[in-house]
């Protein structure tokens, strides 16, 4: 007899017995998935909610930092007095470059005050210009740390969420097969539903990881740009200070 690949009688019965058009009840998945799967789903949903909150917050913070940095650089190169630039920098507190300038200006004020008090030799021996340079580097490092705050959570969510979801899926499949074994009935209708429910954990894990990894890479790239701009500004500011105050 030639086998034409048609489904057997038992399989046709199972297919006909399977409910058609039934939608997956996600509340039922959570309640019937057991404490482990339920815990995994709640953990992933919570991590996703926190990630989205961080995404919106960091997006606004970095956008404001970039906009105010552009405004500060325009003010810096158009002004001729450092004290006027310092006053303008106070109104642009979200700009990391303005904060770097303020730190350098404060240190420069201390050095010039020492020179006026007759401590010129000691100030030069200790390196007045080096003091300003260290102040700029310290302020830039502090601003980068501030910009990177909570971004690491996005990286952790992006890397860990798929594995947490996979753990919930594996656990759910193990539990589903155990229940099928106890029922003693392993046809398509009894296997498909619990396995599809178990795969929900992986789907939730991917849903939490994908936005987190995209936002993480985007934020890190923008922070690197701001870090590079702070480094370039520090070099330009040191050249100006050296030319006008330490010549």
Confidence at residue 173, expressed as pLDDT on a 0 to 100 scale? 84
The full set of domain ranges for the chain reads 35-245
pLDDT value at residue 16: 46
pLDDT digit string, tens, across residues 62-91: 999 999 999 999 999 998 888 899 999 989
Kindly report, residue by residue over 158-211, the tens digit of the pLDDT.
Answer: 999 999 999 988 888 887 777 777 777 666 666 667 777 778 889 999 999 999
Which pLDDT value is given to residue 45? 94
**247/126: higher pLDDT:** 247
Instruction: Give the mean pLDDT of the chain.
Output: 82
Has residue 214 got a pLDDT over 90?
Answer: yes
Q: What pLDDT sits at residue 135?
A: 92
Decide: 241 and 84 in contact? Cβ < 8 Å.
no
Query: Is the pLDDT score of 123 beyond 60?
Result: no
In this prediction, residues 135-156 reach a mean pLDDT of: 95
In angstroms, rounded to a whole number, what is the distance separating the alpha carbons of residues 183 and 174? Answer: 14
Global pTM exceeds 0.85: no
Between 136 and 194, whose confidence is greater? 136
DSSP string, 141-157: HHHHHHHTTTHHHHHHH
Give the range among 2-6, 79-83, 128-132, 223-227 with minimum mean pLDDT: 2-6
Answer with the residue of higher pLDDT: 132 or 180. 132
Instruction: Specify the pLDDT at position 141.
Output: 95
């Amino acid at each position: 007899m030639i086998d034409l690949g048609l489904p057997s009688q038992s399989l046709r019965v199972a297919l006909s017995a399977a409910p058609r058009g039934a939608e997956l009840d996600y509340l039922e998945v959570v309640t019937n998935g057991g404490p482990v799967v339920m815990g995994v789903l709640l953990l992933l949903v919570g991590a996703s909610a926190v990630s989205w909150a961080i995404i919106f917050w960091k997006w606004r913070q970095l956008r404001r930092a970039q906009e105010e940095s552009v405004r500060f650089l325009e003010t810096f190169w158009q002004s001729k007095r450092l004290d006027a630039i310092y006053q303008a920098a106070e109104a642009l507190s979200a700009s990391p470059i303005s904060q770097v300038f303020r730190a350098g200006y404060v240190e420069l004020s201390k050095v010039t005050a020492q020179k006026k008090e007759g401590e010129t030799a000691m100030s030069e021996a200790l390196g007045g210009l080096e003091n300003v340079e260290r102040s700029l580097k310290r302020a830039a490092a502090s601003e980068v740390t501030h910009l990177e705050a909570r971004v690491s959570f996005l990286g952790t969510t992006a890397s860990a969420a798929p594995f947490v979801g996979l753990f919930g899926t594996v656990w759910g499949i193990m539990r589903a097969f155990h229940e099928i074994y106890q029922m003693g009935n392993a046809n398509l209708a009894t296997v498909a539903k619990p396995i599809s429910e178990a795969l929900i954990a992986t789907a939730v894990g991917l849903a939490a990881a994908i936005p987190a990894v995209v936002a993480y890479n985007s934020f890190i790239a923008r922070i690197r740009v701001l870090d590079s701009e702070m480094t370039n500004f520090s070099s330009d500011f040191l050249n100006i200070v050296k030319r006008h105050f330490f010549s």
